[in-house]
Chains A and B, each alone.
Chain A
């Protein structure tokens, strides 16, 4: 997987309430609609200007707060291809992987990233390119790699259930 897009750079502790306001959690169901409210209370310019493939670079503890999965879905629907941060909140991180959105820990790239400039991400090669510099990031865990390969936890579980079904048929 390779992604290429414009850098949207934000600070530390970008919480789930500013990514996707709680007031929408039980009223918005269409993922496309969720995308229109991405980062609404942090950067009102984001949702209307983000392009497919764009990459978010942020500081520490990205996605802290609520367990709401819409805080991942809205970014994906808005066109974000990956989020690179110094660190991630744990539930947001799991939700990202489970929805096939790469959440990449790479402090050096975050420091180098400039808002509005261009970046590329190569998942298999584990590198980020910003201008003419290259930054490498650590591998995903075995399970995260599997889920990212299938594209989502839903497909991963479908496969797992099918395997169980097949082994029952065989025995």
Chain B
């Protein structure tokens, strides 16, 4: 048997096979099936199959996060339909408005574990690679088909190896790492591929910092992304499970690629050499070092989303804005990715600091990221967001400009009113 990538091993396991070759097609049986506000639309498709109920209700996870709480009666009706579906099918893992964004909530609830497969009706399902799971997004009809059959055909992808060395300097984050990589290889540089990270640097990264990486790999066109899970990950999950599973039991589920596995490409990145990066309008791969875009006036700063709405991100903002005021003419919206994060941010005093600085707060959820919920920019305005996409019209207004950056750049920008290198604040 030849040496295997993570993707080969994970998909073989999900299909109940000993080993699979790259390029072959398998019938995968996911451990979890994710949907959110789109659950109502998926249930309409599911109804066309003529089945009473979903096959494996225990595998489903449903969160209300994309327009939560509902801003219009139409959105409210959508949520009402989701609740009806959830009740009828006895969906145990259902999370109401305000609990948070699907990827963060499923992580916090430890509903997916290392080596498992999760398929979601959401393109950022790549997220779950942070804990060593295989996560991939599909469309609504395929989720309906999964509810009916429990199976999905998947091609075993090629893998790209990304080796990380060194450590991030102060003021530089894993968001900068991701933007740098996307800028280097472009928005289709990982098309159909499994992006498999490795290197000693990973064990130095906090859990919050790690989650950013596979989440952003969706913007490379990746099928999934993977970070090798370590003790820090196993302990985090065991805590979330209140030790119903031991650290050791969780660690036994982990899958690691073989040394000598076949990679389409090997990319090496020295974290020490990175500086803050910004994706300029209207493509995620239009990446510039911060020095090129510094000084650009910004009307709105948004810290949130499944990419960068975690406690560490809010902490960085509070550290930069402590005892300060937002620049005149610049507003700031903070949306924690989950209720647990919001709770901690309140307890630790971060929210008070940010409110005192002049920021405002949204309900945990996706917020204005995709133009569905509160906090969208006006025509002619510029928004600097910690989110993952800056496509024209993404936040609802085609004539607005969106810049993507790290929470550190976002907070520094809110302070000065123009795109600012957070490292310049440390010097002064």
Q: Which residues of A contact B (CB under 8 A)?
A: 13, 15-18, 21-23, 25-27, 29, 40-42, 60-61, 64-69, 72, 87, 89-91, 94-95, 98-99, 141-143, 152-154, 157-158, 160-161
A69 x B140 contact (CB < 8 A): yes
Given the contacts A65-B123, A157-B148, A17 and B393 also touching, CB distance less than 8 Å:
yes
Q: Which residues of B contact A (CB under 8 A)?
A: 25, 37-38, 41, 45, 48-51, 66-67, 72, 74-75, 78, 120-123, 137-142, 144-145, 148-149, 153, 155, 187-188, 191-192, 221, 223, 283, 285, 370-372, 376, 389, 391-394, 396, 398
A161 x B370 contact (CB < 8 A): no
Cα–Cα distance between A139 and B191 once the two chains are bound (Å): 19
Contact partners of B141 in chain A: CB under 8 A: 69, 95, 98-99, 152-154
Cα–Cα distance between A64 and B66 once the two chains are bound (Å): 19
Cα–Cα distance between A17 and B326 once the two chains are bound (Å): 31
Which residue of chain B lies nearest to A98 when distances are taken between CB atoms in the complex? B141
A-B contact pairs, 17 of them (CB 8 A): A13-B187, A16-B391, A17-B391, A23-B370, A23-B376, A26-B78, A29-B41, A40-B393, A42-B392, A61-B187, A61-B188, A64-B188, A65-B391, A67-B140, A90-B191, A157-B144, A161-B49
Besides the known contacts A41-B392, A158-B48, A158-B49, 10 further A-B residue pairs in the complex with CB atoms under 8 A apart: A22-B394, A26-B37, A26-B38, A26-B78, A40-B393, A64-B187, A95-B138, A143-B153, A154-B144, A161-B149
CB distance from B179 to the nearest CB of A (A): 16
B45 x A23 contact (CB < 8 A): no
A161 x B392 contact (CB < 8 A): no
Q: From the candidates B66, B78, B188, B223, name the one contacting A60 in the complex (CB within 8 A).
A: B188
A26 x B75 contact (CB < 8 A): yes
A91 x B139 contact (CB < 8 A): yes
A161 x B393 contact (CB < 8 A): no
CB distance from A164 to the nearest CB of B (A): 9
Q: From the candidates B25, B38, B187, B393, name the one contacting A143 in the complex (CB within 8 A).
A: B25
CB distance from B62 to the nearest CB of A (A): 14
Contact partners of A154 in chain B: CB under 8 A: 45, 48-49, 141, 144
Given the contacts A22-B372, A27-B72, A61-B187, A41 and B393 also touching, CB distance less than 8 Å:
yes
B139 x A98 contact (CB < 8 A): yes
B142 x A94 contact (CB < 8 A): yes
* Number of A-B residue pairs having CB atoms within 8 Å of each other in the complex: 132
Contact partners of A160 in chain B: CB under 8 A: 149
A66 x B123 contact (CB < 8 A): yes
Given the contacts A22-B396, A89-B221, A98-B141, A66 and B149 also touching, CB distance less than 8 Å:
no
Cα–Cα distance between A101 and B89 once the two chains are bound (Å): 32
Contact partners of A99 in chain B: CB under 8 A: 141
CB distance from B69 to the nearest CB of A (A): 13
A153 x B393 contact (CB < 8 A): no
Cα–Cα distance between A25 and B366 once the two chains are bound (Å): 13
Cα–Cα distance between A140 and B269 once the two chains are bound (Å): 37
Contact partners of B67 in chain A: CB under 8 A: 26
A67 x B372 contact (CB < 8 A): no
CB distance from A74 to the nearest CB of B (A): 13
Cα–Cα distance between A21 and B371 once the two chains are bound (Å): 8
Which residue of chain A lies nearest to B123 when distances are taken between CB atoms in the complex? A67
Cα–Cα distance between A13 and B145 once the two chains are bound (Å): 28
Given the contacts A17-B389, A22-B370, A26-B75, A91 and B51 also touching, CB distance less than 8 Å:
no
A23 x B148 contact (CB < 8 A): no
Cα–Cα distance between A95 and B141 once the two chains are bound (Å): 8
Contact partners of A42 in chain B: CB under 8 A: 392
CB distance from B232 to the nearest CB of A (A): 30
B191 x A25 contact (CB < 8 A): no
A67 x B371 contact (CB < 8 A): no
B392 x A91 contact (CB < 8 A): no
B123 x A18 contact (CB < 8 A): no
Given the contacts A66-B123, A67-B121, A27 and B221 also touching, CB distance less than 8 Å:
no
Cα–Cα distance between A22 and B141 once the two chains are bound (Å): 18
Which residue of chain A lies nearest to B391 when distances are taken between CB atoms in the complex? A17
